[in-house]
Structure 1
Amino acid sequence: MRPTEFPQPLDTLMVATCNVLNLANPGRLFYENQDPYSQTEFERKITWLGERFRALNADVLAVQEVWDDAAFKGALGRGGMRYDFVVVPGAENNDTQHGAQGTPRVGLATRLKVEAVQSFADFPPGFQVDVPGIGQHTRFERPPLVATLRMKHGQTFNVLTAHLKSKRPKFLQDALGQPTEDRDDRKVVALASLRSLIMRGAEAMALRCLVIDLLHRTSVPLVVLGDFNDTPDSVTTQLICATNDIAYDRTARDVALFNAYDLQGDFALKKDVAYSHIHQGAPYVLDQILVSEEFLPNGRNSVGDVRRVDYFNDHLHEGRDRTRSDHGFVRALLRLKLPSPPPAQSASPSPTDATAPSNIPR
């Protein structure tokens, strides 16, 4: 038997991550320095996104840069996609809420049964980080979202959607949003870039803490996906994954993450098109899908594998247009073993807490 083959049937699971580039309702100001979308622009944007969502056809669709959940739902509908569960915490549109304010949010759409969902804004106690000129960085700019999902045959897994701080320099501003630093001074630019790095590193550290809470001494698989604003080999991504720790600590595998692209099966079609963003003409992988050890083909605790990872990035060569996206979309085909049948006589399961994802301390 090949190492990547399982002796029993597997369920397939398609997951995808999409940075949708400022998805907002028409006429709604989202950034002070950008004009709102006209109705025509908005129609073009949700039509374009709808077509991409239909092509992805994911069971779990994670999105970043959503200002209005109504716009996200509109794009799903425009693509003819039906998802029973759609959520973008902090970007709701209703009688009392008018979308995200200050910064866009991450969201999730899924066809699977949702056992629990929770958004995390604050860093764990004691894990705040000082940023020069700003003070303590204590919370995510865009809170990550964790959901516990159940597949049709009963397999449970957690999915974490994130969007880390960008590399754009973080300049100081006054209460009215006016700059208080000389942005033409290259030394000031260097300090502002350091602020962004520290903030992204702090968010990566806090995300790592969340990953540990989800994985430590549990067999529930975890999929982490989103826009990391850094490459797979970067310090921040490796901080989240902690894969290198396995070389000298056998117990580290329990809480490590692995890049799905590196775990693809033997029959995966691989070629040099694995990038999700182009900056100054150079391709980068910023949008990533990471998985826990349960998806390792030869892992001691394997319950599945990564069959294929695809990059939908042709539109990055079509020119900049805010009615599209400046990020490629990434999709992974995962497989999970069917659960073993229960014993003939077993104790009744305990009631499930449906307010928080499994294995997260309350």
Structure 2
Amino acid sequence: MHEDSGSRAGNTDWQALQVANFNTLNLARAGHAFYPNEEGYDEHEYARKVAWLGEQIRRLNADVACFEEVWDTSALHDAALASGLHYPVVIAPGAENGAEGTPRVGLVTRFDLVEVTSLAAFPPGMSLQVPELGEYGHFERPVLHAKLRTHGGTTFDLLVVHLKSKRPKFLLDAAGHALEDRNDPAVVARATLRSLIMRGAEAAALRATVSSILAGTHTPLVLVGDLNDQPHSVTSQIIAATSEVVFDRSARDTALWHAYDVQTGSSLRRDVAYSHVHQGSPEILDQIWVSEEFVAGSRFAVGDVRRVDYFNDHLNEGRDRTRSDHGFVRAVLRLRSQSARRDPAAEPARGF
């Protein structure tokens, strides 16, 4: 279903757009051995994976679809083609000739791509020392920053992210052999701390990136991806900085809001809002965040978040690497037409 609330109601003041996120679980071409300890897909597995992902893309029918764990841009092309939908833009920076070491994030969209940047290095001054590993100053999976233009002519910023996982970061030699006893609880704890520090450093670097994009502007921004932590975790809140708004109203200029928490639709199915199951516990790792321009009631709102849905039934169908181990999330956003927008300068200051 592709919602366009304005056209259905005969109201041309609104344009609906849908943004979705898909963690693909190693989307790679047949024969691409993406990890040293895991065989690549054979032709049959590859065909099944592309067909399955294509069906999910078709089902969510997003105007902007974001992807994690893309090893080959050509595989993302095949999945988009298998959806049967028309997407003029299909990109996964760094995976054009097959990614090595770590997978990349990707983007498929119906909208015009104005500009795209792959952000690997942290902003200046944001690197951090990780115990036994030294300076950490880059995103393990580079962030994709795109400027998109909707069919209605509105430009907005999009960040596609995939933060460091919670898996323990054990020390390895140059050949990839373990240097630590992975059965020692103290070693596991310290290796898990390294991962937390790395994810925290990425979160802080992303906060600096978001701030630099949003400061002094009122161009909408949407951040989408697998944050490998819950929305109210410390790392997610570092990125969003929403809590700062409580103490400093001016902080809303660069803050982000979890789309699920600010949706304006009447159907809030919180009992099914999860995207991953870890040791039997459901988690929301895959998230969509928006700037204040999409928050109803904000003085500078040019739209809102109408609805957020999670698609996670396949998580209960058993493990199979041709499917994903993550649920998918889709947000239905709305933008006001230029003629229907308020002029904040002509309005008295409001509480938000």
Q: 1:230 maps to which residue?
A: 229
SS at 2:25 equivalent: strand
CA distance in 2, matches of 1:159, 1:237: 17
Q: 1:242 maps to which residue?
A: 241
Q: 1:303 to 1:124 in 2, by over 3 A?
A: same
1:51 aligns with 2:55: yes
CA distance in 2, matches of 1:78, 1:266: 31
Q: 1:265 maps to which residue?
A: 264
Check the 8 A contact 2:265/2:307 in 1, yes or no: no
Length-normalised TM-score, structure 2 = 0.92
Q: Mapping of 1:96-111 within 5 angstroms?
A: 97=97, 99-111=98-110
Q: 1:39 maps to which residue?
A: 43
CA distance in 2, matches of 1:145, 1:32: 26
1:203 aligns with 2:192: no
Q: 2:113 maps to which residue?
A: 114
CA distance in 2, matches of 1:46, 1:9: 38
Deviation sequence 1:229-255 (CA, Å, 0-9, x none): 000010000000000001110100000
1:154 aligns with 2:158: no
Q: Mapping of 1:180-199 within 5 angstroms?
A: 180-199=179-198
1:13 aligns with 2:17: yes
Q: 2:251 maps to which residue?
A: 252
In structure 1, what residue type is equivalent to 2:75?
A: A
Deviation at 1:79, TM superposition (A): 1.5
Deviation at 1:124, TM superposition (A): 1.1
CA distance in 2, matches of 1:71, 1:24: 6
SS at 2:272 equivalent: coil
Q: 2:27 maps to which residue?
A: 23
Deviation at 1:268, TM superposition (A): 3.0
Q: 1:285 maps to which residue?
A: 284
Q: What runs of 5+ residues in structure 2 fail to find an aligned partner?
A: 1-5, 341-352
CA distance in 2, matches of 1:284, 1:89: 28
Q: 1:338 maps to which residue?
A: 337
1:63 aligns with 2:67: yes
Deviation sequence 1:150-171 (CA, Å, 0-9, x none): 1112111111100000000000
Deviation sequence 1:58-99 (CA, Å, 0-9, x none): 00000000000111111111121221011100100xxxx3x0
Length-normalised TM-score, structure 1 = 0.90
CA distance in 1, matches of 2:63, 2:261: 21
CA distance in 1, matches of 2:94, 2:30: 18
Of 146-155 and 61-70, deviating more is 146-155
In structure 1, what residue type is equivalent to 2:239?
A: I
SS at 2:62 equivalent: coil
SS at 1:50 equivalent: helix
Deviation sequence 1:306-355 (CA, Å, 0-9, x none): 000010100000011100000000000000111239xxxxxxxxxxxxxx
1:80 aligns with 2:80: no
CA distance in 1, matches of 2:70, 2:12: 40
Aligned residues: 332
CA distance in 1, matches of 2:133, 2:83: 43
Check the 8 A contact 1:154/1:339 in 2, yes or no: no
Of 75, 92, 95, 1:91 maps to: 95
Deviation at 1:275, TM superposition (A): 0.1
Q: Which portions of structure 1, spanning 4 or more consecutive aligned residues, are displaced by more than 2 angstroms? A: 266-271
Check the 8 A contact 2:72/2:95 in 1, yes or no: yes
In structure 2, what residue type is equivalent to 1:114?
A: L
SS at 1:278 equivalent: strand
SS at 1:159 equivalent: strand
Check the 8 A contact 1:294/1:303 in 2, yes or no: yes
CA distance in 2, matches of 1:112, 1:302: 21
CA distance in 2, matches of 1:104, 1:283: 24
Relative contact order higher in (CA < 8 Å, ≥ 6 apart): 1
CA distance in 2, matches of 1:73, 1:153: 26
CA distance in 1, matches of 2:110, 2:277: 31
CA distance in 1, matches of 2:260, 2:123: 30
Check the 8 A contact 2:169/2:194 in 1, yes or no: yes
Check the 8 A contact 1:268/1:307 in 2, yes or no: no
In structure 2, what residue type is equivalent to 1:208?
A: R
Compute the RMSD of aligned alpha carbons. Answer: 1.5
CA distance in 2, matches of 1:195, 1:269: 37
In structure 1, what residue type is equivalent to 2:280?
A: G
CA distance in 2, matches of 1:291, 1:192: 33
SS at 2:120 equivalent: coil
In structure 1, what residue type is equivalent to 2:315?
A: L
SS at 2:267 equivalent: coil
